[in-house]
Structure 1
Amino acid sequence: MLDAYTNPPRGLVEAATFPLIEAIHGRRSRRFAKGASIPAGPLAYTSKEAPEALDPVEQMLLISTIAGNTGWAELFAHHPEYKGKLPNYTTAAGGRSFPSSAGFNTSEFFFTDDTGVYFLPTRDMTPTPSKETDLHAWVEAHQSRIVKLADGRLNIPAAMPHMEGHNTWSANAPGSTLVMPVADVAQHVILLLLYLVQNGTGIYDDVNGRMIPGIERYAHRLNMDVAYPMTFLEQVALTDVSVELGTACYAGALMLQALGLGGWMYTGINPFTVLGASGDPAVPGLGFRFDMLDGNPLPHFTGLPGVFEAHVPPHHADMRAAVEAAVARKFGAGGPFDAKLGGPYKENAAVRSAAAQIDAEAIEITTLMADYVLNTFGRFPANVPAVFLNTYLQAHRLDTGFYDTHYGPGAYLRTHAEHDKNWG
Structure 2
Amino acid sequence: MSLDHMVGHEGLEALLSQSVLETIWRRRTHRVSRGASVPAGSMSYRSPHRPMPLEELEEAVLIALTGCSGLTMPDRLFEDPRDGAPIMAKPNLAMAGRTAGSPDNAQGTHFFMINDTGTYYLRKLPPAPDRPFDAATLIDRARQARVRVLDHRLDVAEGKRDFPAYLDSNRFLSNIPGTTVFLPVVDLSHQYINALMYLLTQPDGARPVILDDRNFYRPAGVRKWVRNGFLNADIKLPLGALGPMRTQIEADLLLQNMMLVADAMGLGAWIHATINPLIALGDPKFSRAYGRMLGFDFVTPRFRPADILRWQIPLPKYASARSHPVGLRAGGEHLIKAACPPNYPSMQKAVDAVVAGKFGPNGIYTDRDLFARIYKGDYGQRYLTEASAYDQRVIDCARDICTYIHDTHGRFPAHADAIHVPGIWLQTHHIEPEYYERFFVNGTTDAHARHSARWHGAGDGGRRSSREER
TM-score (norm 2): 0.81
Q: Deviations over 1:254-293 (max 9, x none)?
A: 0111111112112243111211123247642211112344
Deviation at 1:148, TM superposition (A): 2.0
1:402 aligns to what? Answer: 435
* Partners of 2:353 and 2:41 in 1: CA distance: 54
> Over the residues paired in the alignment, what is the CA RMSD in angstroms?
2.5
Q: What SS does the aligned partner of 2:417 have?
A: coil
1:417 aligns to what? Answer: 449
1:16 aligns to what? Answer: 16
2:77 aligns to what? Answer: 78
Which of the residues 250, 254, 257 maps onto 1:251?
257
Deviation at 1:96, TM superposition (A): 0.5
Q: What SS does the aligned partner of 1:412 have?
A: coil
| Maintained 8 Å contact 1:90/1:102 | yes
* Partners of 2:181 and 2:296 in 1: CA distance: 18
| Maintained 8 Å contact 1:126/1:334 | no
Which of the residues 335, 350, 368 maps onto 1:339?
368
Deviation at 1:75, TM superposition (A): 1.2
* Partners of 2:156 and 2:112 in 1: CA distance: 14
| Maintained 8 Å contact 1:113/1:153 | yes
Q: Deviations over 1:309-360 (max 9, x none)?
A: 1111111221112112222232353625522314321132332344323354
| Gap change, CA 1:337 and 1:95, over 3 Å in 2 | farther
Q: What SS does the aligned partner of 1:241 have?
A: coil
Deviation at 1:247, TM superposition (A): 0.6
* Partners of 1:138 and 1:362 in 2: CA distance: 43
Q: What SS does the aligned partner of 1:38 have?
A: coil
Structure 2 matches for 1:126-145, cutoff 5 A?
Answer: 126-130=126-130, 137=137, 140-141=140-141, 143-145=143-145
| Maintained 8 Å contact 1:55/1:423 | no
2:61 aligns to what? Answer: 61
Identical amino acids, percent of aligned pairs: 28
Q: What SS does the aligned partner of 2:259 have?
A: helix
Q: Which has the larger radius of gyration?
A: 2
2:414 aligns to what? Answer: 382
| Gap change, CA 1:108 and 1:39, over 3 Å in 2 | same
Deviation at 1:137, TM superposition (A): 4.4
* Partners of 1:138 and 1:227 in 2: CA distance: 49
Aligned length: 413
Q: Deviations over 1:80-101 (max 9, x none)?
A: 3484565121111111001101
1:290 aligns to what? Answer: 298
| Maintained 8 Å contact 1:12/1:58 | no
Q: Deviations over 1:215-251 (max 9, x none)?
A: 324634333432422111125x1xx233111111000
| Maintained 8 Å contact 1:338/1:352 | no
Report whether the alignment pairs 1:233 with 2:242. Answer: yes
Structure 2 matches for 1:3-402, cutoff 5 A?
Answer: 8-65=8-65, 67-81=66-80, 83-84=85-86, 87-122=89-124, 125-130=125-130, 137=137, 140-141=140-141, 143-157=143-157, 158-199=161-202, 201-202=207-208, 203-207=210-214, 208-217=216-225, 219-235=228-244, 237=245, 240-277=246-283, 278-280=286-288, 283-293=291-301, 294=303, 295=313, 297=321, 299-305=323-329, 306-332=334-360, 333=362, 335=364, 338-341=367-370, 342-346=372-376, 347=378, 348-390=380-422, 391-402=424-435
After the TM superposition, which of the residue ranges 240-249 and 140-149 deviates more from structure 2?
140-149
* Partners of 1:205 and 1:101 in 2: CA distance: 23
Deviation at 1:173, TM superposition (A): 1.4
* Partners of 1:40 and 1:57 in 2: CA distance: 34
* Partners of 1:249 and 1:217 in 2: CA distance: 41
After the TM superposition, which of the residue ranges 336-345 and 410-419 deviates more from structure 2?
336-345
* Partners of 1:287 and 1:204 in 2: CA distance: 34
TM-score (norm 1): 0.89
Instruction: Return the letter of the residue paired with 1:113.
Output: N
| Gap change, CA 1:371 and 1:334, over 3 Å in 2 | closer
Instruction: Return the letter of the residue paired with 1:104.
Output: A
Instruction: Return the letter of the residue paired with 2:351.
Output: V
| Maintained 8 Å contact 1:128/1:141 | no
| Maintained 8 Å contact 1:109/1:182 | yes
| Maintained 8 Å contact 1:93/1:334 | no
